[in-house]
């Protein structure tokens, strides 16, 4: 069952997953694919197996900053689909990968029919809100270097040590100037923690990256474990 590559879908018991699996389709998505536009209705819900979905807030002045990252530990679009709401963000594939996709209407029907499935999706939404709040605090309070290291650790958890990312993209995700990212990347490379060239960043020393990262990622991970590793979580 390929859908079990997503952590949330893997929480479902065989009966529940069987009931919704006919509505789920596995598709590959490429870096840069747009899953939702700000203020547009959510038509599909995405459960990543691999790759990373990025939620980006855009400002009228042309600025943008990432407020949330979703990998195989989560879902994009479920809470909006449950209430027929629009997307608050521009949502894009940050790292290409496979996802299980279901239409918003079918997801809502399944959640209405299976309250425990709805409960699981609501739980994830609570976690995602916590992640966004932590990101807001992090963006305001922590240095670009600490934030970059935190971000690289998260990327490593979801996509491995070899990342296809330009510094322009990284700067945009973090809401800082390209020169700031270049400076930090140079420091990390000099310290032997990463190498980067032509849109590829390779992580060499996770311990050192962890030492320079702010605490935000580990706080968010602890929160996730508290929510989903309790005994009653399986549906
Ligand atoms: Zn932080």
CA 59 / ligand 1 centre spacing (Å): 22
Taking all residues of the chain, what is their mean pLDDT, rounded to a whole number?
91
- The pLDDT, as a whole number, for residue 199 is 86
Averaged over 68-83, what is the pLDDT? 93
Distance linking the first and last C-alpha atoms of the chain? 17
Three-class secondary structure of residue 142 per DSSP: coil
Asked if residue 233 has pLDDT above 70, the reply is: no
Tokens representing residue 185 in the block = 């990347």
CA 129 / ligand 1 centre spacing (Å): 16
The neighbouring-strand residues paired with 164 are 200
Q: Contact at 8 Å (CB) between 154 and 219?
A: no
How is residue 207 annotated by DSSP?
H
pTM, 2 dp: 0.90
Residue of higher predicted confidence among 64 and 98:
98
CA 235 / ligand 1 centre spacing (Å): 33
CA 60 / ligand 1 centre spacing (Å): 25
CA 123 / ligand 1 centre spacing (Å): 23
Token pair 């939702």: residue:
36
DSSP labels, 76-93: BSHHHHHTTPBPSSEEEE
CA 148 / ligand 1 centre spacing (Å): 9
pLDDT digits (tens, 9 = 90+) for 169-227: 888 888 899 999 999 999 999 999 999 988 899 999 999 999 999 999 899 989 999 98
CA 224 / ligand 1 centre spacing (Å): 16
User: Within the chain, what is the greatest distance between any pair of CA atoms?
Assistant: 56
Query: Alpha-carbon Rg of the chain, whole angstroms?
Result: 18
pLDDT digits (tens, 9 = 90+) for 207-223: 999 999 999 989 998 99
pLDDT digits (tens, 9 = 90+) for 86-116: 888 899 998 999 999 999 999 999 999 999 8
Token pair 């990373």: residue:
52
Taking residue 135's Cβ as centre, other Cβ atoms within 10 Å add up to: 21
CA 10 / ligand 1 centre spacing (Å): 30
Asked if residue 232 has pLDDT above 80, the reply is: no
CA 43 / ligand 1 centre spacing (Å): 33
CA 139 / ligand 1 centre spacing (Å): 7
Tokens representing residue 202 in the block = 């390779």
pLDDT digits (tens, 9 = 90+) for 13-59: 998 899 899 999 999 999 989 999 988 899 999 999 999 999 998 88
Angstrom CA distances, 28 to 4, 8, 154, stand at 16, 19, 21
How is residue 10 annotated by DSSP?
H
Q: Contact at 8 Å (CB) between 110 and 78?
A: no
- The pLDDT, as a whole number, for residue 235 is 60
CA 146 / ligand 1 centre spacing (Å): 7
| Torsion angle, alpha carbons of 203, 208, 210, 215, to 10 | -140
Which domains, from first to last, does the chain contain?
A: 2-114 (2.60.120.10), 141-217 (1.10.10.10)
């Amino acid at each position: 069952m390929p859908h079990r590559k997503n952590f949330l879908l893997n929480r479902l018991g065989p009966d529940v997953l069987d009931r919704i699996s006919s509505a789920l389709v596995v598709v590959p998505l490429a870096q840069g694919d747009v899953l939702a536009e700000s203020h547009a209705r959510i038509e599909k819900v995405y459960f990543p197996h691999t790759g990373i979905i990025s939620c980006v807030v855009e400002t009228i002045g042309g600025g943008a900053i990432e407020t949330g990252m979703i990998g195989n530990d989560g879902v994009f679009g479920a809470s909006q689909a449950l209430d027929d709401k629009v997307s608050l963000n521009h949502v894009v594939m940050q790292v290409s990968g496979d996802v299980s996709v279901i239409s918003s209407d079918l997801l809502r029907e399944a959640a209405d029919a299976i309250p425990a499935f709805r409960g699981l999706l609501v739980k994830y939404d609570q976690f995602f809100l916590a992640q966004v709040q932590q990101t807001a605090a992090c963006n305001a309070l922590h240095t670009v270097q600490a934030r970059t290291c935190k971000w690289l650790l998260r990327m490593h958890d979801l996509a491995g040590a070899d990342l296809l990312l330009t510094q322009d993209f990284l700067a945009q995700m973090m809401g800082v100037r390209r020169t700031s990212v270049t400076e930090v990347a140079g420091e990390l490379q000099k310290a032997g923690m990463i190498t980067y060239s032509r849109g590829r960043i390779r992580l060499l020393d996770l311990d050192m990256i962890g030492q320079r990262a702010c605490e935000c990622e580990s706080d968010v991970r602890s929160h996730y474990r508290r929510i989903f590793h309790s005994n009653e979580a399986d549906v």
